[in-house]
A = this chain, B = another copy of it.
Amino acid sequence: MNDPETANPIPLLEVRNIKKCFGRVRALDGVTFTVDRRSVVGLLGDNGAGKSTLIRILNGIYSPDAGEILWNGRSVHLRSPRDASNLGFATVYQDLAMIDQLSIYRNMFIGREKNVTWNLGPFRFLNHKRAKRETSAALAALGIKIKSTETAVEALSGGQRQSIAIARAVHFGGELLILDEPTSALSLRQTKQVLETIEKAREREISVIFISHNIGHVFEVADRFVVLSHGQTVANLSRVETDENQVSHLVREGRAVER
Interface residues of A (CB under 8 A from B): 22, 24-25, 45-49, 51-53, 94-95, 145, 147, 155-160, 163, 181, 184-191, 213-215, 248, 251-252
Which 3 interchain pairs have the tightest Cβ spacing? A47-B159, A184-B184, A48-B157
Please give me the residue from chain B that is nearest to A155 by CB atom: B22
**How many Å lie between the Cα of A66 and that of B51 in the bound state?**
45
A28 CB to nearest B CB, Å: 12
- Which listed residue, B25, B181, B214, touches A147 by the CB 8 Å rule? B25
A236 CB to nearest B CB, Å: 19
Assess whether B155 is in contact with A181, with CB atoms less than 8 Å apart.
Answer: no
A255 CB to nearest B CB, Å: 14
Assess whether A185 is in contact with B147, with CB atoms less than 8 Å apart.
Answer: no
Please give me the residue from chain B that is nearest to A24 by CB atom: B147
Please give me the residue from chain B that is nearest to A157 by CB atom: B48
Assess whether A181 is in contact with B187, with CB atoms less than 8 Å apart.
Answer: no
Q: What residues on B are CB-neighbors of A189 within 8 Å?
A: 46, 252
Q: What residues on B are CB-neighbors of A159 within 8 Å?
A: 46-48, 213
Q: A22-B155, A147-B25, A155-B22 are in contact. Are A188 and B213 (CB under 8 A)?
A: yes
**How many Å lie between the Cα of A246 and that of B27 in the bound state?**
43
Pairs across A and B, CB under 8 Å, 7 listed? A24-B147, A47-B157, A47-B159, A51-B157, A95-B158, A184-B185, A187-B251
Q: What residues on B are CB-neighbors of A95 within 8 Å?
A: 158
20 more A-B contacts (CB under 8 A) besides A53-B157, A187-B251? Answer: A22-B155, A25-B147, A45-B187, A46-B189, A46-B190, A47-B163, A47-B185, A47-B187, A48-B145, A48-B156, A48-B159, A51-B157, A94-B158, A158-B181, A181-B184, A185-B213, A187-B213, A187-B252, A189-B252, A214-B214
Among A47, A185, A191, A251, residue most surrounded by chain B Cβ atoms (within 10 Å): A47
Q: What residues on B are CB-neighbors of A213 within 8 Å?
A: 159, 185-188, 191
Assess whether B248 is in contact with A188, with CB atoms less than 8 Å apart.
Answer: yes
- Which listed residue, B147, B188, B252, touches A188 by the CB 8 Å rule? B252
A219 CB to nearest B CB, Å: 13
Please give me the residue from chain B that is nearest to A214 by CB atom: B214
**How many Å lie between the Cα of A252 and that of B145 in the bound state?**
14
**How many Å lie between the Cα of A169 and that of B191 in the bound state?**
28
